[in-house]
Amino acid sequence: MLFWKVFSQVLLPILILVGFGWVLDKRSRLDLNTLIKLNIYVLVPAFIFREVVNSSLGAGFAVRVMAFTVSIQAGMFLLSALVSRFSGYERRQARALQLATMFYNSGNYGVPLMTLAFPATGPLLQVFVVLTQNICTFTVGVFLTSSATHAGWRAFLPMLRQVSLWAVATALVVRCWEVPVTEWRWLWVPVEYLHHALVGVALATLGAQLSQTRVQQNAGRLSWALGLRLLAGPLLAALLCGPFGFHGEEAVVMVVSAAFPTAVNTAMLAHEFQADSQFAAAVVFYSTLASMATVTCLIAVLRVPEVLAFF
């Protein structure tokens, strides 16, 4: 029953939206470049701005969640770098593997799943995981992606053009100075509309990208990416819960969060900066499918009293 709940209420809607984008592209051949720019430069910044402005968690707790998330990303970066060196991957292949393992779908996949599985604490913690993931995606992620094709200081330039970073900075100014932006209907209503549009448009865009992408990839590369993201991620999170002071259900939520599939934004960035976008899209696709089994099994295992006592 738990497996069916998670699948029907969280994963099936995601697959339907991806399938909608796939079918629409097959029938009409959508302009993928325009869709990706709409996501990266309009919808994602609006989502981040709204989330930061409306957040209600205390600063200390929020910093702890964000530091934990960054630690997971750093650990995945090191593991994927070791795998890349061991496997003899070229620069573009190594960057694609790092993107696929470091950044996970904490937003349009993670938030609804947490609301279903852990309604008391899940959404509260997940908001700051989403914020950290988005900030890191449009800083570190952009640097890793652009550095696959640009060397030296030029690899940093694309970060300065990311609207999402300016959205975070603006939202922090709004919170610090208590600017009543929520009362400015001429601004806040469009922000709300764009915020709610992100999930549907991003997943439909992923479907269109997959429609135009050869998802058949080298089995070895895919296996490493899926194993690191879906298995090594939650294992690393379980080891870090104690040092970061997460116990009980808080620890379970953080472990499950680290088990989510590769973020949709990584495929968009790979396409935007021409960094092995076919592999990036394939990992998003296959990790989302595989997570139906891995995430559901993980939640079931973590609800066993003997396992829960470990935290």
CATH topology assigned to domain 32-308: Na+/H+ antiporter like fold (1.20.1530)
Whole-model pTM?
0.78
What pLDDT digit, counting tens, does each position of 186-225 carry?
999 999 999 888 888 888 887 887 788 666 667 788 899 9
Domain boundaries, the chain: 32-308
- The band of 20, judged by pLDDT with boundaries at 50, 70 and 90, is very high
| Burial of 184 from C-beta contacts in 10 A (0-12 / 13-18 / 19+) | exposed
Whether the Cβ atoms of residue 35 and residue 142 lie closer than 8 Å to each other: no
Cβ distance 146 to 158 under 8 Å?
yes
- Got the DSSP string for the chain? -HHHHHIIIIIHHHHHHHHHHHHHHHHH---HHHHHHHIIIIIHHHHHHHHHHH--S-HHHHHHHHHHHHHHHHHHHHHHHHHHHHHT--HHHHHHHHHHHH-B-TTTTHHHHHHHH-TTTHHHHHHHHHHHHHHHIIIIIHHHHHHTT--GGGGGHHHHT-HHHHHHHHHHHHHHHT--GGG-HHHHHHHHHHHHHHHHHHHHHHHHHHHTS-----HHHHHHHHHIIIIIHHHHHHHHHTTTT--THHHHHHHHHTTPPBPHHHHHHHHHTTSSHHHHHHHHHHHHHHHHHHHHHHHHHHTSHHHHTT-
What pLDDT shows up at residue 116?
75
pLDDT in tens, 37-59: 888 788 888 887 887 788 766 67
**Binning pLDDT at 50, 70 and 90, where does residue 136 land?**
confident
Q: Which residue has the tokens 């495929």?
A: 267
- Which pLDDT value is given to residue 233? 96
Contacts of 161 (CB under 8 A, 6+ apart): none
Q: What is the pLDDT of residues 256-302, one digit of tens each?
A: 999 999 987 787 777 666 667 778 888 888 898 898 889 988 988 88
